[in-house]
Structure 1
């Protein structure tokens, strides 16, 4: 009986280890694919702003020279500077959109297309390898789809090798209970941190209230002192 259990455990561990190795290979394969495959280059928004401002300056100068007389004729209706700036901004936006779409977008498209065509064979091989790995998982792995990730298979192998579980079901249940326990601990830590922040805020409020209380007492004493001084002045002026 023990031999049968041992044999069953060994077969189970081998299958999960096989699943784990395939998952590692699939992850490495995905990294290679992403490294080779070129996505279109995205321009940082800050670069967009710099290029936009760079285009505004020549437009402002051009309109200041050529349309200055017309703008001065309308100076009483619309301020000169405002008119020139408004036209410059509108034309800059139109020019920037046209240049971006015609030049950068097309160049970017051609570059990525050339790069991906150049590595078409390698990309195709990686894609075929990836499909085979996932096909092997679906065909040979006894690990349910939900638990086919590297962290989980590591834990399942550990539970079985260290005799914390005797079957796949027990290992999965132990994994779920452990993860649930970790979630509860994290929630408790969050609640404790929130409570600490609340206590700190309450302490700050209490300190402010104490300060206000002291100020109120000092104000009351000042008023009483002033009233006493007034009373003495009144008494002295009587005579």
Structure 2
């Protein structure tokens, strides 16, 4: 019996391809997150955090001045002592960041070395086997495309992509309208 593929079979194959592509894209995102976490600054305290840490740093210097009276003499004789302490604090934080990044990189060196090869492999697989264009390789977009097909809002990939583009344009227009509304409210309040 010669069976011709029905339109529903084509949609099911398309949904399977989108799910496969989504899994590969999620692996790509995961690789980028691992790389970012290793390379980001470990001491990222914000303004208030640095204020508190600098206060603790100054309190430590006060404790040291009790042990070493030369520090007290230096503070009283030098009017730029606070500026020197601020620069010392900044240098210490910079060096600590570099040290912690170095430690994280050495601990995860094997993972970092394998990331470019894994990324390249995933990109090649996606390029060869995925029916989704490169511009739509994002987990949220792929999920929306799948939902359009599952909910029967689209019958093929082209319709699903058009619906996604339409939704993206709509969201951008709504963002612009909200920004204009905020500006108008600010102007009417003033």
For the residues of structure 2 that align with 1:52 and 1:200, how far apart are their CA atoms?
A: 47
Residue from 118, 132, 140 that aligns with 1:129 = 118
Is 1:170 aligned with 2:159?
yes
For the residues of structure 2 that align with 1:100 and 1:184, how far apart are their CA atoms?
A: 44
Is 125-134 or 164-173 further displaced after alignment? 125-134
Deviation of 1:23 after TM superposition, in Å, equals 1.5
Deviation of 1:104 after TM superposition, in Å, equals 5.4
The one of the two structures with greater contact order (alpha-carbon pairs below 8 A, sep at least 6) is 2
Is 1:10 aligned with 2:29?
no
Q: Is the 8 A contact 2:54 2:89 kept in 1?
A: no
What SS does structure 2 have at the residue aligned with 1:176? helix
For the residues of structure 1 that align with 2:101 and 2:44, how far apart are their CA atoms?
A: 12
For the residues of structure 1 that align with 2:89 and 2:75, how far apart are their CA atoms?
A: 23
Is 1:179 aligned with 2:179?
no
The answer for the alignment partner of 2:73 in structure 1 is 62
Residue from 23, 26, 38 that aligns with 1:21 = 23
What SS does structure 2 have at the residue aligned with 1:163? coil
* CA distance 1:93–1:192, change in 2 (3 Å): closer
* CA distance 1:47–1:161, change in 2 (3 Å): same
Deviation of 1:148 after TM superposition, in Å, equals 1.0
Structure 2: state its 5+ residue gaps.
Answer: none
The answer for the alignment partner of 2:51 in structure 1 is 46
For the residues of structure 2 that align with 1:176 and 1:183, how far apart are their CA atoms?
A: 11
Deviation of 1:199 after TM superposition, in Å, equals 10
* CA distance 1:51–1:190, change in 2 (3 Å): same
TM-score (norm 1): 0.55
Which of the pair has more CA radius of gyration?
1
Q: Is the 8 A contact 1:156 1:172 kept in 2?
A: yes
Structure 1: state its 5+ residue gaps.
Answer: 68-86, 203-239
For the residues of structure 1 that align with 2:134 and 2:145, how far apart are their CA atoms?
A: 14
Q: Name the count of aligned residue pairs.
A: 179
Q: Is the 8 A contact 2:17 2:130 kept in 1?
A: yes
Residue deviations 1:37-73, cap 9 Å, x none? 56453565425653675559968941687x6xxxxxx
* CA distance 1:143–1:43, change in 2 (3 Å): same
Deviation of 1:140 after TM superposition, in Å, equals 2.1
* CA distance 1:8–1:188, change in 2 (3 Å): same
